Structure 1
Amino acid sequence: MIRVLAELEFFKKEGGRNNAIVTGYRPVFNGLNDTSAISGRIILLNREFLFPGEKEIVEIDFLDGFIPEKYLTVGKEFTFEEGLSVILGKGFFTEIIQ
C-alpha cells in the first residue's frame, strides 16, 4: 500500500457534489500515472466531514503498483473525481509516508 498526506481542496460548484465526504470515501485520482485514473481511499485526520468549499490535510491510501515512483513526490498535483465525469477538487502531496 502507498500512503501519502495531501492537501485537498473540495470544490463547491454547480453540478458538483453537494454532500460532505467522510473517512473511507474512494474517489478516482487523475494525474498520478501516465495512462489512467487511480482509485484511492481518503482518511480524514482532524474532522468527521469535509464539505464542498473546504480545504484539509488528509491521508490517502493507494494500492501498490499503480503509481510510478516518479509521481510520488511532495508537491505533485492531482485532481479527484466521482465517476470519471465530475471533478470534485484538486490536491497535492505534502508527505509521502508509504
Structure 2
Amino acid sequence: MVKIRAYIKLYRNVRRTPFRTGYRPLFDFIEEMKTSGRIDLIDRKQFYPGDEGEVKIVFLNRDYLGDDFDIGKTFLFGEGSDPLGEGVVKEIL
C-alpha cells in the first residue's frame, strides 16, 4: 500500500458535481496505464469543479505508479478516457 499527499486540481468544465472523501478515480502515472486510488480530503468536506488543494491518496499497489514515482511526479486522474483533473506528488507518507 502506498499513501501520498498530493496537490490536485479538478478541472472546471468536465465534471459537474463535487466529490467527497473516498472518491476512487483512475490515475495515470504511466502512459496508457491506469490504476485505482482513493482520495481522502484534508481540509474540506467536498471538492468542487475548479477547486485546487491538498489531498491524501491511497494506492493498493506500487507497480502501476512507475519506476520514476517520487515527489514532484505529475499525474492525471479521471473516470474514463478523458481526464477530470491533474496533480503532483508532494509527499510520500
Query: With structure 1 as the length reference, what TM-score do the two structures score?
Result: 0.86
Work out the CA distance in 1 between the residues paired with 2:65 and 2:19.
Answer: 27
1:41 is matched with 38
List runs of 5+ in structure 1 lacking aligned partners: none
List runs of 5+ in structure 2 lacking aligned partners: none
Amino acid at match of 1:7: Y
Query: With structure 2 as the length reference, what TM-score do the two structures score?
Result: 0.90
Q: Which of 11, 17, 20 is the matching residue for 2:18?
A: 20
Amino acid at match of 2:76: T
Cα deviation digits, residues 19-67 of structure 1 (max 9, x gap): 001000000001x236510100000011100000010100000012433
What is the aligned-residue RMSD (CA, Å)? 1.5
Q: Which of 27, 32, 56 is the matching residue for 1:29?
A: 27
Number of aligned positions between the proteins? 93
Identical columns (%)? 34
Alignment of 1:1-98 (within 5 A): 1-13=1-13, 16-30=14-28, 32-33=29-30, 36-68=33-65, 70-82=67-79, 84-97=80-93
Spell out structure 1 runs of 4+ moving beyond 3 A. Answer: none
